Amino acid sequence: MSNQSTNSTGQVHHLRRMTVAWVILSVIGDVLFSIFVAPHVPPGRLTETAAKDQTDFNVLFEMAIPVLFGVWIYLGYSLVVWGDKRNKDAAFSGDAARHNTTTIVSWMAVTTVTVLFLAGFGTYALVVDHGSGGGQGPNPAFAPSGALKAETAALVGKATWAPGSKNVLPVQVIGQQWKFTYRYPTFGGFESSQLVLPADTTIAFNVTSLDVIHSFWAYQLGVKADANPQVNDVAFTTTKDPGNFIVRCSELCGIWHGAMYDSGQVESQSSFETWATTTEAANAANTALLPAFAWTYVPSANGAGGGYYPNTQDPFSKVEVYGSGTKSAA
Amino acid sequence: MTISDERSTEVSGPVSGHPHEARRLSWTQRPGLLSQNIITAIVFAIIGYTIGHWFGNYLASGYSYIANSGQNSIADTLALAFGVVGWLGGIGALNYPFAKLFGVDGLEEESPVDNWTKYFRYTLDHKVVGLQYVVGVLLFMFTGGLLAMAIRTELLNPTTHVFSPDTYIKIVSEHGTVMMMMATSIIVGPLGNYFVPLMIGSRRMAFPRIEALSFWIFTAGYMVIFSALPYGGFPTGWTGYAPLQTQSGPGMVSYLLGFAVIGTGMILAGFNQAVTIINYRAPGMTWGRVPVFVWSILATASLLTLATPVLFAGGLFGLLDKTVQTAFYVDEHGGSSYLWQNLFWFFGHPEVYIMALPGFGIAGELLPVFCRRPLFAYKVSSAGMIGVALLSFFVWQHHLFQSGINPDMRPLFMLTTELISIPTGFIYLVGLGTLYRAKIRFEIPMLFVLALFFNFLIGGVTGVFLSDVPVNVTVHGGFFVLSHFHYTIMGGLLFAFMAGIYYWMPKMTGKMMNKKIGKWHFWLMFVFFNLTFFPMFIIGLLGQPRRVFTYATNLQGLNDFSSVSAFILGFSFLVFFFNLVYSLWLKPEVAPANPWESLGLEWQTATPIPSYNFERIPVIMTDPYRYSEDGAPAYADLGTSGAPDTTTPTMA
Amino acid sequence: MSFTGRLSTAVGLFLVAVALIIWALVSFLDPGNPGGYVNYTLGHSTGAPVDVNLQTVGAIGTGFGGHPTWVSYLQKDPTSGQWIHDTSMTLPADTVVHMTIDQYDSGSPLRNQEWGQVQGTIGGSATLNGKSYKVYNSYSGNGVGHTFAVPGLGVSVPLIGVNGNLPNICGQAPCGSLPHNVITFSFKTGAPGSYNWQCFVPCGLGYLYGNGGPMSTNNYMGGFLKVVA
């Protein structure tokens, strides 16, 4: 389009005007955004994961602002200047109005480069941030170092974590209709309806479900992982300072989906250890009744006392069974 | 080949207009409502429903899980299935196939008497089907919109509940499903059926019976999906995730069977459109001369034909899980909850482009008319639509970024998703390029097209946010997504539909839509659409998940703002309905033959359009959209004047 | 037809359509849900504890709406003393609630033994027929029939089932003097707001995971505590 506006005699330089306005407004927009909005963009900076997600967010916002302004300025300019009442010139027509190789090729080149940059940047962010807090399934492709070791140890009851140790802390998140509960394999496998985490620690959330699909969304941690039945969906985050965060279910799971939320705390390493050992002791009687710690559980598909499928569960299942009645009386 | 040669290869006569006098009228041809019509369809549907329900109860009421739950999904499935068959049989859709099956020849459905009753019968004229679809989709949209008002009413307050949480989920699910079903047909059905044959210079669709069948299946689907409410609703949202799907009551049957029914209509409609566009173009209409609206319908039709069968199969599996206790989606018994997610989104992502492409087509079609200049980069626009259609099959797992499946494929799906921005960008290149040095006429259809470009830009840019996996962690499953797809589907498709209705209504009815009321409609809809959905981006970013009946109290201000705007947005639709009633019935104003001075072929034939569309099959002479071009030949030679042709152009 | 005639016809048809739609929505969307709140704040003096009496029945029977086979909670109306099919209550804020639950249903092992612990009650315990308990092994004895849990207040109490093999186990509500367990506990209502409560035993027979039907319908196995200042 550009050469059309310049070589027609008497034409104003429409595109040049628009470009100047676009550059000025985009720079102003980006600067204002980075000063006033960027620090408040979700999910905040409570964890390293969240902070990196926020940076990604801001990169996208800074790129979106020029795109939006570009189209808006063009639209606005067109409507004002080329309305049939205002525009005294004849409408642009003929072959030149139908095709312009320079414009088409440069448009395609700019969009392609932008898109490839975004995909590359997103991939880079995803890989260096160990999946960016998203659920990666049972075999995380982008696990931080030490994660696999911690998970293996957790399964055989030998996971260790202590204040000052740089070990990964596995925490199991169990979704059920309609509440999340949490198991800590490092502390004897006790289960709690409270979620407490130590500061300055890499956490491996092992998210699973006892029934339908839920989604564990720890907003300020920058973590979201679907809870699928019989799937161990692993998501990583590295906590920094103490603080509170909200946990919500973000996959529709039935009547009380909207009420399936609670809050969690990141505490200092020592107070976390105190909480964990105290709760381990307080819950010991109940922990003894729980099935051995496992990545997934096969609860009865029938519910209490009979239900949908005629047989209760797969007799050849090797995983631990919730609610099967196999535990003897305590 | 000369024009006269082309003319001699015209299609063999119009569908109706046979010399009926030569034969005795069959019972299907009896005039008016004496033959099969919507009343017989209702009666047959009720009979079918009753038989199916009885049969299901007879078969299954003894099973313990049915006795315990007191809810028999088998009876409801059979009732609905038999009801749909009864409905189609009652309207007369099955006469011709059965006649063929039993070797009866020459069964004709068309009544020789042409009056208003044709709108309530199994009529094969694509213009009648188009108008039937207009009423059908508006009914769909109105009921779905009322449910949206109910959602926003509940979200006025985080703690005081208008509806109980189960009722709220039912409303949300019904709203989503109804709107999705409506949106797949809202342009292809009414405007596609009506105008594609006119725009390609054909006298009919390729398969008129299949065309009528797709409409009557669509109406059956409407009734099936609304049967969910008396059955107690379904709690899964429009995505129907299993195993929640398997757990819910008989309302789920309406969802699964409803999608199967609607899906059948979608496959048939898409197939019919594709065949028509490929085979029934007028002589001279090379691929480089096809109007962009027709291109968009072709791209959409290919998606309808290829993607919908996956949904059909998925729904059938769910129905089996729900009725005869198979376990396609239940992990404990050897199925997988991921299977539904994969099947659903393998259909579901092409589906969202089924809902976007016709909107692009209308935008491309209307811009040159109201800009009075040629469409910029015509080939780029058709390439963009085909590109979007192809790429849409390779992105479905971006809906599963946090699901735990295939983590190593995330960079790939992030890339394919972002690549879609390139062909979508083509549409913007074409749109913005066409505005360049135009003489823009701000008529109502043009306002809606401009609004589409404004809204879809926001929808598209936020789509890039969603495709970025690290950002997706925060925005997946929240109000951000919700707002994103309302910006693309409602802000894009629905605005395009309105543009199309205002633009083509003079052709369809011979009456102009009132401009003053139209302006009120447009500004209310545009402003309050944005005021409703833009705050939802912020609500989503601040952490509100979708489909919740309660939310953080500090978000009440934004939610209330959004709700009040939504009520006014809902009111704007009443303004639209009022405009329809006012302009068509209360104070009709006869439309000029070509009120927008369009060069499009559909405006060159008479109004009202004769049942055979064109007196003679037109011959396309040149590229479309040669506006404001001195000395440009007419787009088509309609050969109506009877004057001998002086030109003998060579056909490409 | 004259303009006025057409206008009034249009308005008339519009009103008929609106009436039909409202009728359809009201009658279809919320079938058989009384959905009221039983009010415990009437005549309540600040600081005094509130007594609430609930019962659980394995099948609600034909007296309470359209799902006679469904399991349900019932609540005793404090003014009339009648058992009503309504699970929501309005309670005063920062007040001790003495809860008495008559458990008529049989029990089973829990899906998640976490709900076998008494949590969030005053003293961290509950009583079963007068005997205090803090943890109940759901794999033993008669198992757990239901739980009463208010996630927002951290309250969760397992309700121990009656022996399902008893010949005279209650089959239809209200159950009166048929065999039952009496569970009592107390909790404090906290700040004003809307809290949901639910049962965590998947007791909806005939539904996958036992969580459909009555577990997924308000007023059966869950409801609201509306806490007001």
The neighbours of chain A, by the rule of 3 or more Cβ pairs under 8 Å, are B, C
What's the mean pLDDT in C175-201? 90
Q: Given a cut of 80, is residue C45 above it in pLDDT? A: yes
pLDDT digits (tens, 9 = 90+) for B111-135: 666 778 888 988 889 999 999 999 9
Q: What is the DSSP letter of B200?
A: T
Q: What is the residue-averaged pLDDT of chain B?
A: 89
The set of residues, in sequence order, having a beta carbon less than 8 Å from that of C134 and lying 6+ positions away, is A285, C117, C118, C124, C125, C126
CA distances from B564 to A17, B162, B567 (A): 39, 16, 5
Task: Mark which residues 171-200 of A lie under 8 Å from B by CB.
Answer: none
Q: Given a cut of 60, is residue A89 above it in pLDDT? A: yes
Q: Which residue in chain B has the smallest CA separation from C219?
A: B164
d(CA A298, CA A286) in angstroms, rounded, equals: 19
The set of residues, in sequence order, having a beta carbon less than 8 Å from that of B226 and lying 6+ positions away, is B143, B174, B178, B254
Residue type, position C127, single letter: T
Under a CB-based contact definition with an 8 Å cutoff, are residues C127 and C185 in contact?
Answer: yes
Q: Given a cut of 50, is residue A168 above it in pLDDT? A: yes
d(CA B261, CA B184) in angstroms, rounded, equals: 13
Both tokens of B610, joined, read 């004769």
The neighbours of chain B, by the rule of 3 or more Cβ pairs under 8 Å, are A, C
Both tokens of B121, joined, read 């019968």
Smallest Cβ distance to B586: which of C6, C31, C194?
Answer: C6
Q: Which fold has domain B11-15+124-322+333-586?
A: Cytochrome C Oxidase; Chain A (1.20.210)
Please provide residue A224's backbone torsions phi and psi, each rounded to the nearest 5 degrees. -145, 125
For helices B292-323 and B337-354, angle between their N-to-C axes, nearest 10 degrees: 160
d(CA B70, CA C66) in angstroms, rounded, equals: 9
Please provide residue A173's backbone torsions phi and psi, each rounded to the nearest 5 degrees. -110, 120
Q: Is C3 on the interface with B (CB under 8 A)?
A: yes
Residues β-bridged to residue C53:
C100
Q: What is the DSSP letter of B398?
A: G
Look at strands A179-184 and A190-192 and give their pairing: antiparallel
Q: What is the DSSP letter of B189?
A: I
Check CB contact under 8 Å for A303 and C154.
no
What percentage of residues in chain B have a pLDDT greater than 70? 92
Task: Quote the pLDDT of residue C106.
Answer: 84
Residue type, position B265, single letter: G
Q: What is the DSSP letter of C196?
A: E
Q: Is A139 on the interface with B (CB under 8 A)?
A: yes
Q: Which residue has the tokens 């959409």?
A: B300
User: Which pLDDT band, with edges at 50, 70 and 90, does B23 fall under?
Assistant: low
Q: Given a cut of 80, is residue A324 above it in pLDDT? A: no
Q: Given a cut of 80, is residue B400 above it in pLDDT? A: yes
A202: helix, coil or strand? strand
Residue type, position A304, single letter: A
* SS3 of chain C: helix, strand, coil, percent, to 5: 20, 35, 45
What sign does the dihedral C111-C114-C116-C118 (CA atoms) show? negative
Q: Given a cut of 90, is residue B574 above it in pLDDT? A: yes
**Where exactly are the structural domains of chain B?**
11-15+124-322+333-586
Q: Given a cut of 70, is residue A316 above it in pLDDT? A: no
Check CB contact under 8 Å for B407 and A131.
yes
Q: What is the DSSP letter of C108?
A: B
pLDDT digits (tens, 9 = 90+) for C81-105: 888 888 999 999 999 999 999 999 8
Task: Give residue B325's region: left, alpha or beta (phi > 0; psi -120 to 50).
Answer: left
What sign does the dihedral B540-B543-B548-B553 (CA atoms) show? negative
pLDDT digits (tens, 9 = 90+) for A183-192: 999 999 999 9
Please provide residue C9's backbone torsions phi and psi, each rounded to the nearest 5 degrees. -60, -45
d(CA B453, CA B102) in angstroms, rounded, equals: 53
Look at strands C38-39 and C89-92 and give their pairing: parallel
Q: Which residues in chain C are contacts of B243 at CB distance < 8 A?
A: 208-209
Task: Quote the pLDDT of residue B652.
Answer: 37
pLDDT digits (tens, 9 = 90+) for B297-336: 999 999 999 999 999 999 999 999 999 888 899 888 888 9
Q: What is the residue-averaged pLDDT of chain A?
A: 86
Task: Quote the pLDDT of residue C195.
Answer: 92
Instruction: Please give the helix or strand (H or E) that residue A223 lies within, else none.
Output: strand A223-227
What percentage of residues in chain A have a pLDDT greater than 90? 66
Q: Which residue in chain A has the smallest CA separation from C139?
A: A325
SS3 string of B495-544?
HHHHHHHHHHHHHHHCECCCHHHHHHHHHHHHHHHHHHHHHHHHHHHCCC
Task: Mark which residues 190-219 of C lie under 8 Å from B by CB.
Answer: 193-194, 196, 204-209, 211-213, 216-219
Minimal Cα–Cα distance from A281 to chain B, Å?
A: 33
Q: Which residues in chain B are contacts of C224 at CB distance < 8 A?
A: 161
Q: Which long-range contacts (CB under 8 A, 24 or more apart) does B596-599 make?
A: B596/B369, B596/B370, B596/B443, B596/B445, B596/B503, B597/B369, B598/B369, B599/B369, B599/B624, B599/B625, B599/B626, B599/B627, B599/B634, B599/B635
C91: helix, coil or strand? strand
d(CA A197, CA A169) in angstroms, rounded, equals: 9
Q: Given a cut of 70, is residue C22 above it in pLDDT? A: yes
d(CA C218, CA C221) in angstroms, rounded, equals: 7
C74: helix, coil or strand? strand
Q: String of b and e for B409-430 (b: at least 16 CB within 10 Å)?
A: ebbebbbbbbbbbbbbbbbbbb
d(CA A122, CA A137) in angstroms, rounded, equals: 19
Quick one: how many helices (H) and strands (E) in chain A? 8, 10
The CA-CA-CA angle for residues C150, C155, C158, to 5°, reads 100
Look at strands C131-133 and C126-128 and give their pairing: antiparallel
Task: Quote the pLDDT of residue B5.
Answer: 47
Task: Quote the pLDDT of residue B2.
Answer: 45
Please provide residue C201's backbone torsions phi and psi, each rounded to the nearest 5 degrees. -95, 120
Q: Which residue in chain C has the smallest CA separation from B230?
A: C28
pLDDT digits (tens, 9 = 90+) for B430-442: 999 999 999 999 9
d(CA A315, CA B625) in angstroms, rounded, equals: 70
B481: helix, coil or strand? helix
Selected residue of A230, A302, A309 to mutate for chain C interface (largest C Cβ count, 10 A): A302
Minimal Cα–Cα distance from A303 to chain C, Å?
A: 4
pLDDT digits (tens, 9 = 90+) for A131-165: 899 999 998 989 888 888 888 888 888 888 999 98
What's the mean pLDDT in B527-549? 95
Task: Quote the pLDDT of residue A314.
Answer: 41
Q: Is B383 on the interface with A (CB under 8 A)?
A: no
Task: Quote the pLDDT of residue C113.
Answer: 87
DSSP string, A32-48: HIIIIIGGG-TT-SSBH
Q: Is A279 on the interface with C (CB under 8 A)?
A: no
Quick one: how many helices (H) and strands (E) in chain B? 23, 2
Smallest Cβ distance to C70: which of B65, B70, B550?
Answer: B70
Q: Is A236 on the interface with B (CB under 8 A)?
A: no
User: Which pLDDT band, with edges at 50, 70 and 90, does A309 fall under?
Assistant: confident
Residue type, position C97, single letter: V
Check CB contact under 8 Å for A42 and B477.
no
Minimal Cα–Cα distance from B543 to chain A, Å?
A: 7
CA distances from C158 to A181, A304, C116 (A): 16, 14, 6
Smallest Cβ distance to A301: which of C108, C149, C209?
Answer: C209
Check CB contact under 8 Å for C216 and A309.
no
Task: Quote the pLDDT of residue B36.
Answer: 85
Q: Which residues in chain C are contacts of B146 at CB distance < 8 A?
A: 21, 25
Q: Given a cut of 70, is residue B18 above it in pLDDT? A: no
Check CB contact under 8 Å for A42 and B380.
no
C95: helix, coil or strand? coil
pLDDT digits (tens, 9 = 90+) for B615-625: 889 999 999 99
Q: State yes or no: cis peptide before B208, omega within 30 of 0.
A: no
Please tell me which residue, B63 or A305, carries the higher pLDDT value. Answer: B63
Q: Which residue has the tokens 């069948």?
A: B213
A176: helix, coil or strand? strand
Task: Quote the pLDDT of residue A275.
Answer: 95
Under a CB-based contact definition with an 8 Å cutoff, are residues B607 and B590 in contact?
Answer: no
Q: Given a cut of 60, is residue B552 above it in pLDDT? A: yes
pLDDT digits (tens, 9 = 90+) for C160-174: 988 877 888 887 877
CA distances from B490 to B225, B355, B422, B461 (A): 21, 9, 22, 16
CB atoms within 10 A of CB C68: 14
Q: Given a cut of 60, is residue A301 above it in pLDDT? A: no
Under a CB-based contact definition with an 8 Å cutoff, are residues B179 and B186 in contact?
Answer: no
User: Which pLDDT band, with edges at 50, 70 and 90, does A7 fall under?
Assistant: very low
Q: Which domains does chain A carry? A: 2-85+95-128 (no CATH), 147-287 (2.60.40.420)
Q: Is A211 on the interface with C (CB under 8 A)?
A: yes
Task: Quote the pLDDT of residue B17.
Answer: 46
The CA-CA-CA angle for residues C195, C219, B154, to 5°, reads 60
pLDDT digits (tens, 9 = 90+) for B177-201: 999 999 999 999 999 999 999 999 9
Both tokens of A64, joined, read 């979106």
Q: Is A256 on the interface with C (CB under 8 A)?
A: yes
pLDDT digits (tens, 9 = 90+) for A180-230: 999 999 999 999 999 999 999 999 999 999 989 999 999 999 999 999 988
Q: State yes or no: cis peptide before A138, omega within 30 of 0.
A: no
Q: Which residues in chain C are contacts of A307 at CB distance < 8 A?
A: 202, 204-210
Q: What is the residue-averaged pLDDT of chain C?
A: 87
Q: State yes or no: cis peptide before A178, omega within 30 of 0.
A: yes
DSSP string, C126-142: EEETTEEESB--TTSTT
Check CB contact under 8 Å for B474 and A53.
yes
Smallest Cβ distance to B247: which of C29, C35, C211?
Answer: C211
Please tell me which residue, B467 or C165, carries the higher pLDDT value. Answer: B467
Structure pTM?
Answer: 0.92
Strand extents, DSSP E, C37-125: 38-39, 50-57, 72-76, 83-84, 89-92, 96-103
Task: Quote the pLDDT of residue B379.
Answer: 94
